[in-house]
Structure 1
Amino acid sequence: MSEKEITERIMEDDEIHKKGGEVSPALISIHPLEESIAVAIGSELRVFDLVGTKPVVLHDHAGGPSHSDSIRSICFGAKGTLFASAGDDKLVKIWKVDSWKCIRTVSSEKRVTAVSISHDGLFVCLADKFGVVWVVDLNSQGENQCPVDKSASPLLGHYCSIITSLEFSPDGRFIVSADRDFKIRITVFPKKPLKGAHEIQSFCLGHTDFVSCLAFAFSTDDSSQGFLLSGGGDSTVRLWDYLSGSLLDTCDIGSKLACNGDKSKVKEDGCSVVTDLCVCHNGSLVSVSVQSFHGVILLNCNLIAKTLSFSMAIPIVGNFIPTSMATGNNSDHLWMVMGASGLPSADPNVMYPVRVKVIAGLKKFHSDIEVQNLSILKDDDIPGSKDSLMVLQGSLDVEKDEDSLVHTAEALKTAMRNLLIKRQYSVEKREVRKKSRNDRKLKRKVV
């Protein structure tokens, strides 16, 4: 094959990969006290006040731009006073929850893949596609003094590997970052983070494919004795002692579902990627979403025995595959959302649906109690009733959107893997790609 033919093939492969990777899953996040809930779909941020049972109007008039591309990460701060959103438009927007006013817009050099707020609410950390974690000091300036701020400081790096998840430890002492190269890094969050984080506590190594999500399991009575959970492209959920980096237990989600009669749903096309984790019920219950499973999986996390065990799979009727999950502190509800933006379509005006569902009964759940204690709430029984669904989903016409849900479910099976998995090239293709690198082109022009 000639060099020209190889180049054409590479360009064709890159275009196919780009189309699949641009799909952006819908995200959901809930206030720690379940006072409000937010859903992000594409560049749109939808928020509902669960206490006042009314939609929230976002006040983004500080002078900075609004989100113009897919939002890739959203989160509430531990105290519930701040909310952050970030994504492909290289913007991080920080909001005050009491007024839902944007108090800071930070511009990143690269697309942002993850965002997290320190427990004291003084710092916001963001991770980009180049593998760098940046930190923003919220006390460095007054509100509205600089609508678009580029003063984020580098905190740490993952050496050109896409960072997929970013979390602060329950006690706020550490910041944990995971990447597509199977690594989880535990870093001491310094007292002066603007000068960088130079002390690595440990690495949690054991995943055999990209790490997609992180969560902490800890007792609310003692947040210092927590453990780290991780899920990834190798179909496993792993329990870690993050202080030492020791692997405590592993649960193979794909094989557990196959043993429970769901092999056809999970192993089809090889898509059994763990896409999200949500810790409930005082750290003892872990909800897991899998890329091709229509429902959620529940795991028991024994904080004393330091074990992780499969409890049950909860199927959800219809074409519902959660793309994101959330729960409040000591809440009885598990909130789930399904949806995606950027799906390939012949009609550019087609709007793909967002679906929100809630599982209730988490406080009553125990490993030796039947699944009847858990229930998937009907629309009228969801907190905020149909008013909240109208805001978060944008529609209540489920039957009308059924065909679109099927298409969404199919697209989501491969979207994340296309985005995160490293592509392998032959030696011949690698040499051709090197010649077409932008920095090489620039050098040739200079010469």
Structure 2
Amino acid sequence: MEDTAVEEAEVSGAAEFAPALIAAHPFGHSVAVAVGPDLRVFDLHGGCAVSLSDDSGGCAHSDAIRAITFGAGGALFASAGDDKLVKVWKTGSWRCVRTITSEKRVSAVAFSNDGLYVTFADKFGVVWLVTVGGDAEGQVSADSKPVSIFGHYCSIITSMKFSSDGRFIATADRDFKIRVTSFPKNPMKGATEIQSFCLGHTEFVSCIAFTRNSGGSSFLLSGGGDSTVRLWDHINGCLLDTYDVRDKLGELSEPNETEDSNLAIADICLANDDSLVDVAIQSLNGMMLLACDLIAKKLSFLKVVRTEKSYIPTSLSTSVGPDDHLWSVMGASNMPNQSVSQLLTRVRIVPRFQKDAQGSADHDSAALDDAEVPHGEKLLLALQGSLDASKQEEVLSAVLAALKVSMHKMLVKKNYSEERREQRKRGRNDKKIKK
């Protein structure tokens, strides 16, 4: 029965939904949204949409983008996805200066803190590394080839992040585990020293985030399909605290509001000097805010920032600075009968949380109305896309229905009958390595 249900979901195409992604420049210079193969960038300083150009000689993205990220200094940006391409962009000009071809579809991407390397993970759980920079002007290398540095043994890597001090690279997968690896001085020779495994999630791990160094130490946060946000001492692999979002949502929800809903954690991000954890939950119309006490090593509930019922964020991001905002996006691609012109997203922004005299966050913050959004209609049109107004609600309603079930179908490990496994082996079309 279980095999049949999984196989039917796979055939229907539901497992292939690609959630929209958002990334804010670390210093608030720009914000990028990816939906399907479409990458949209808005210049927050110039107040205008960015025209992307490609100097790498490679192809534009032709399939769903699954990962986007800015480098630690904001000079570089990477996008990668199902077309097996990793594209490196210089954010000063928004020119693509390097296109890297992967052997498999790419599920995660990250820059080393010094900007010298980009790492990406493929659907077979292998982490690859490429040299992308090195000189004072940020010149990107065009001749280095990807080198595999470690792997997760055929488990899809869902998230990959470097620690704030650059010493470690953490990778999470759909088989419930987080691996913390020491990042070597010469990573082109591989990263073989495992610092720890953070084990405790009972379903797939969907997202991870490092805190910045605070008092000489940093910590790791994770979210997963078991509806928990967890705080880790990643040096020793020790679980410090766990917050189960189901407990609070059960109290806040109307009767039957969350019944039969998937409450997987879709994304997490840190704000207010890492004292706040913003959490996107798969069936929640809004975002949950948790207080993160790095001294007491505790997570606690603050509030839920509610949005309209048709809005469930798929990705979150924030930047550092006096005018930083919490950015969120809702959208999806690869849906049945969806055309490129229907790649509609919704962006919602929560202003920076102010602290009172006691140092506590202001609980009254709410998502901005469209009229209050910085740069207003220009920003919304650039990042959300345009569609006939009469069709917007229809498209977004379909996206909403898909998002409520898509993450589990993408990341829950599937069980197949022996016959079905043999059929899948015969139908594989993986790109073969040419000798």
Q: 1:242 is matched with which residue? A: 234
Equivalent residue number for residue 16 of structure 1 = 10
Bigger shift: 403-412 or 97-106?
Answer: 403-412
Q: Contact 2:201 / 2:226 at 8 angstroms: preserved in 1?
A: yes
Report the secondary structure of 1:190's partner residue. coil
Matched-pair contact (CA < 8 Å) for 2:6–2:414: no
- Residues 140 and 106 of structure 1, relative CA distance in 2, 3 Å threshold: farther
Whether 1:48 aligns to 2:42 is: yes
2:311 equivalent among 320, 330, 337: 320
Corresponding position of 2:223: 231
Q: Is the 8 A contact 1:179 1:211 kept in 2?
A: yes
Residue of structure 2 aligned with 1:136, choices 117, 130, 142: 130
- In structure 2, relative to structure 1, the CA distance for the partners of 1:371 and 1:117 (3 Å cut) is same
CA displacement 1:243-276 (0-9 Å, x = unmatched): 00000000001122112235644x3334000000
The amino acid across from 2:232 in the alignment is W
**Is 1:126 paired with 2:131?**
no
Are 1:352 and 1:405, in contact at CA under 8 Å, matched by a contact in 2?
no
Question: Structure 1 residues 359-368 or 292-301, which shifts more?
Answer: 359-368
Shift of 1:407: 1.5
| Alpha carbons 2:133, 2:141 under 8 Å: kept | no
Q: Which moved more, 1:328-337 or 1:84-93?
A: 328-337
Structure 1 moving runs of 4+ over 6 Å: 9-12, 140-145, 396-399
CA displacement at 1:375 relative to structure 2: 2.6
Identity %: 50
Contact 2:131–2:144 (Cα < 8 Å) also in 1: no
- 2:430 is aligned with 1:438: no
CA-CA distance at 1:435 after TM superposition: 6.7
Please say which of residues 150-159 and 230-239 is displaced more in the overlay. 150-159
Matched, 1:335 2:327: yes
- How has the CA–CA distance of structure 1 residues 15 and 206 changed in structure 2, closer, same or farther, with 3 Å as cutoff? closer
For residues 423 and 348 of structure 2, the distance between their equivalents in structure 1, rounded to whole angstroms, comes to 49
Q: Distance in 2 between matches of 1:206 and 1:364?
A: 33
C-alpha distance in 2, partners of 1:182/1:173? 23
Aligned to 2:176: 182
User: C-alpha deviations, 1:189-219, integer Å up to 9, x for none?
Assistant: 0111111001000000000000000012235
Q: Distance in 2 between matches of 1:245 and 1:291?
A: 27
Aligned-partner Cα distance in 2 for 1:124–1:144:
11
Question: What is the count of residue pairs matched by the alignment?
Answer: 425
Aligned to 1:75: 69
Please name the residue that 2:292 is paired with: 301
Deviations 1:33-62 (A, max 9, x none): 110000001001000100010111111133
Residue in structure 1 matched with residue 84 of structure 2 by the alignment? 90
Name structure 2 gaps, 5 residues minimum. Answer: 430-435
The secondary structure found in structure 2 opposite 1:437 is helix
Deviation at 1:398, TM superposition (A): 6.7
Which of 245, 249, 260 is equivalent to 1:253? 245
Q: Which of the pair is proportionally richer in helix?
A: 1
Equivalent runs, 1:108-127 vs 2, <5 Å: 108-127=102-121
Q: CA RMSD in A?
A: 2.8
| 1:100 paired to 2:94 | yes
- Tell me whether 1:286 sits opposite 2:277 in the alignment: yes
Q: Give the letter for the 1:357 counterpart.
A: R
Which amino acid is 1:109 matched to?
E
8 Å contact kept, 1:218–1:303: no
- Using the size of structure 1 for normalisation, the TM-score is 0.88
Residue in 1 that maps onto 2:198: 204
Instruction: Report the secondary structure of 2:371's partner residue.
Output: helix
SS of residue in 2 equivalent to 1:104: strand
Query: Taking structure 1 as reference, are residues 433 and 187 closer, same or farther at Cα in structure 2, changes over 3 Å only?
Result: same
1:276 paired with 2:267, answer: yes
Which residue identity lines up with residue 434 of structure 1 in the other structure?
E
The two structures have a TM-score, normalised by structure 2, of 0.91
From 45, 49, 53, the equivalent of 1:59 is 53
Write the mapping of 1:2-13 to structure 2, written as runs, cut at 5 A.
Answer: 13=7
Residue deviations 1:101-154, cap 9 Å, x none?
1111100000000000011000000001001000001149997985xx781000
| Higher Rg | 1
Deviation string, structure 1 residues 345-391 (Cα, Å, up to 9, x no partner): 3x65761421011011413378856632x132122321222111110
